[in-house]
Chains A and B, each alone.
Chain A
Amino acid sequence: DSKKFKFKTMRQKLLESADVLDDQIDSFANIIQQHYQFDSFVFGNPAIASQNEIVAIGRIVPDSPLIPQDAILNSDSLYLETSRLNGIGQRVPLNLKNIENYSFFLGQIVCLKGLNPTGESFVVKEIIQLPLLGAPVTSKKELKEFNKLQQNQSIKIIVCSGPYTSNSNLDFTYLVDLVERINNEIKPHLVIMLGPFIDITHPKIADGSIEIPNLSKQPDTLQDIMKTTVSPILKTINNKIQVLIIPSLKDVNSNHCAYPQDSLDKKLLALPKNFKCFPNPCSFQINEILIGISNNDIFKDLKDVTRGDSDKQNRFDRIANHIIEQRRYYPLFPGSMKTKKVNSIQNNINKNEYSTKEEELIEHISGADLDIPYLGLSEFSDVIPDILIIPSELRFFARVVKNVVVINPSNFMRQNSPGTYVVLSISPPDLGENGLTKIDENKTTNEDDQLYIHDVWKRARVDIFKT
């Protein structure tokens, strides 16, 4: 519901934040109890000594509230935070020496079997897997209709993610080239464009040394750049092609500077009818295919503590797996933060910079900007998307994780060089013998009501192109 994203920002209440963090633990406790049909007495408080094995549910937190943002965690530095209900919010050291295989990160909700013999630490015996949401399904009747609409053609989607200029200028030539290719070569059904379109952390914006080439009058504000420079390029996309615009927390054109983030204002951007502005994160359907998109760089930010097989697994697979298990697009807490050390002799006039040492100041640049009371809007609905698109400034990739197609198109423009974008083609649903997976439990007399899993991972092809 996109209206819910219109909340006012800059007004977080600590108690409301705490309610949400508490509820994340308790709602997983309910999910686990229902799924495994545990008796309620097997659940216990891991922070107090007991002679019996218990099941504990909580959040992975650090052993010290003072750990620096960039600290490298290890298996000795993790605590488990309990909810108000199951452990009056206490945090207990985790002893993981008996566990051969794990991947833990700060903010993760976990279910652990073990015991606390001395009251000092919770000795974990077993990790209980969080149950997964189901895949989306569609009836035969609807799938037939989609097939008719598509005339048995593949659906073609372009995905690209900002920045759209290099770090040394605000020149959008490469975007002009892309639009040309969209109109004349690729001819997709849909273009998904993620911000930042104009990046507030761009070095030329930070010092104000901006010059927009080929303009008779220089714009007065950063918003004007979008209207005078970027929108005119976007408008030349063939108006039969649908375009989706999703903001970034770094977008100059967003004044909702918090995640979850409201959609951009299409009217202010002066964009035509074939454009739609969606919030960040969002999920939507193209025919039967459910696509989930989040523009907050979890692949870069999430750093886990691993051991065993998890350690050998591809890191992107592991993180995608966490997102699917945790049922939210940005499960890390606290969110990431980017700062810069500045010399206090030159910059002693800014009071908001805080001092770590006498002679060193830290300037805040950007971050994941989580509005915690509204994090519920960043949770999956009742199913796992068929396709997950989460741009990262790390190298592009497309992988299949838990039958979900996970895509990082990476930046359209890198710092000093062209970047990448993605062309996604999905063949139409095949209802024949070797086609989509039938849902067996759904026994029905009417053939048309038969439900199918979309199996998009079997039908999709992801091509990554250089900008």
Chain B
Amino acid sequence: TASNELQPLESMISDAERFKNSEYLTLQCSCGSSFKFGGIQASKDYMITHHGVQCNRCSTNFSNLRVTSQLEKIIRANISLYYSGWLYCDDVTCGIVTRQISVYGRRCIGHSGKAHGCKGIMRYRYSDKQLYNQLLFFDSIFDVDKAKKRSLKPLYEEQGEEDKENVKPITQGALDALCEQNRDFFDICRGVINRYLNNSGRRYVDMGSIFEFMVPEQKA
């Protein structure tokens, strides 16, 4: 918030940009193969059929519960990691990473452990914004309308050309059909994610605190 630069509205940023730092959903197949799942798009590891996700190594279809339980497990691990409350010091000469919190919050405890000496500022390493974005990313990969428009975060952006060549793109006709065939199940997955998004304080702006100045003071 200290920055004076003009920031684009979050909703106008592409998924690739917005979810740049988000972790992929890793799916594990019964054959032992595990791969990153990026929604309905071309992948060398999995295929979307009209029955959902299919592993390319063993051609087995994932059951609904196999997908939703792994999805939910990774969401919960992320929330728990957030609550482990790791902080880091922004002074590069110090840079401690700790779960200790000073009674001043932002003050660095420093290598001495005595809470004086270092002028750095402590921040949560896994911020609530990052967690919120992570959940939105999981939501996006099950968003069939985004898949149709090919606006999902790509699976292979940062990798070599080799990967891209090995993956045959899906034609628009096939893509549209797959999206409709998988819509019901993908909505179930989004339901799983939205249970947690709905409990996120990040989703709700506290109007009370923003408009506090307009509320007449209560007289004791």
Known contacts A200-B76, A372-B85: does B101 contact A14 (CB below 8 Å)?
A: yes
- Please name all residues of chain A whose beta carbon is closer than 8 Å to the beta carbon of B199 when the two chains form the complex: 8-10, 255-257
Q: Does A65 contact B (CB under 8 A)?
A: yes
Residues of A within 8 A of B (CB): 7-12, 14-15, 17-19, 21-22, 25, 47, 61-66, 69, 79, 81-84, 89-92, 200-201, 205-210, 218-223, 249, 252, 255-258, 334-335, 337, 346-347, 349-352, 363-367, 369-372
Counting chain B residues whose Cβ lies within 8 A of the other chain, the interface size class is 35 or more
Chain B: minimal CB distance from A363 (Å): 7
- Please name all residues of chain A whose beta carbon is closer than 8 Å to the beta carbon of B185 when the two chains form the complex: 220
In the bound complex, what is the Cα–Cα distance between A235 and B64 (angstroms)?
27
Q: Does B176 contact A (CB under 8 A)?
A: no
Q: Does B114 contact A (CB under 8 A)?
A: yes
Q: Which residue of A lies closest to B108 (CB)?
A: A65
In the bound complex, what is the Cα–Cα distance between A69 and B204 (angstroms)?
33
Q: Does B66 contact A (CB under 8 A)?
A: yes
In the bound complex, what is the Cα–Cα distance between A306 and B91 (angstroms)?
36
Q: Does B81 contact A (CB under 8 A)?
A: yes
Chain A: minimal CB distance from B94 (Å): 10
- Please name all residues of chain A whose beta carbon is closer than 8 Å to the beta carbon of B126 when the two chains form the complex: 352
Known contacts A10-B199, A65-B113: does B76 contact A257 (CB below 8 Å)?
A: yes
Contact B200 A9 (CB under 8 A): yes
Query: Which of these binds chain A: B21-29, B165-173, B210-218?
Result: B21-29
Q: Does B107 contact A (CB under 8 A)?
A: yes
Q: Does B150 contact A (CB under 8 A)?
A: no
In the bound complex, what is the Cα–Cα distance between A75 and B184 (angstroms)?
60
Q: Does B98 contact A (CB under 8 A)?
A: yes
Residues of B within 8 A of A (CB): 21-24, 26-28, 30, 34, 36, 62-70, 72-73, 76-85, 87, 96-107, 109-111, 113-116, 122-124, 126, 128, 131-132, 134, 185, 188, 191-192, 195-196, 198-204
Contact A220 B65 (CB under 8 A): yes
Contact A81 B115 (CB under 8 A): yes
Contact B83 A63 (CB under 8 A): no
Contact A10 B202 (CB under 8 A): yes
Contact A364 B103 (CB under 8 A): no
Q: Which residue of A lies closest to B70 (CB)?
A: A208
Contact A210 B66 (CB under 8 A): yes
Q: Which residue of B lies closest to A7 (CB)?
A: B201
Which of B21, B80, B188 sits near A257, CB closer than 8 Å? B80
In the bound complex, what is the Cα–Cα distance between A300 and B84 (angstroms)?
17
Contact B201 A367 (CB under 8 A): no
Contact B113 A61 (CB under 8 A): yes
The 8 lowest CB-CB distance pairs between A and B, nearest first, are A11-B201, A18-B105, A8-B201, A65-B98, A208-B66, A369-B83, A22-B103, A364-B81
Contact A21 B83 (CB under 8 A): no
Known contacts A11-B200, A65-B98, A255-B198: does B105 contact A79 (CB below 8 Å)?
A: no
Chain B: minimal CB distance from A13 (Å): 8
Contact B124 A79 (CB under 8 A): no
Contact A208 B69 (CB under 8 A): yes
Contact B104 A221 (CB under 8 A): no
- Please name all residues of chain B whose beta carbon is closer than 8 Å to the beta carbon of A84 when the two chains form the complex: 103-104
Which of B22, B64, B72, B134 sits near A218, CB closer than 8 Å? B64
Contact B69 A334 (CB under 8 A): no
Q: Which residue of A lies closest to B89 (CB)?
A: A65
In the bound complex, what is the Cα–Cα distance between A366 and B60 (angstroms)?
30
17 intermolecular pairs with C-beta atoms under 8 Å apart:
A7-B201, A10-B82, A14-B124, A18-B104, A61-B100, A92-B114, A205-B69, A207-B28, A220-B64, A220-B68, A222-B72, A334-B99, A349-B36, A350-B23, A351-B21, A351-B23, A367-B80
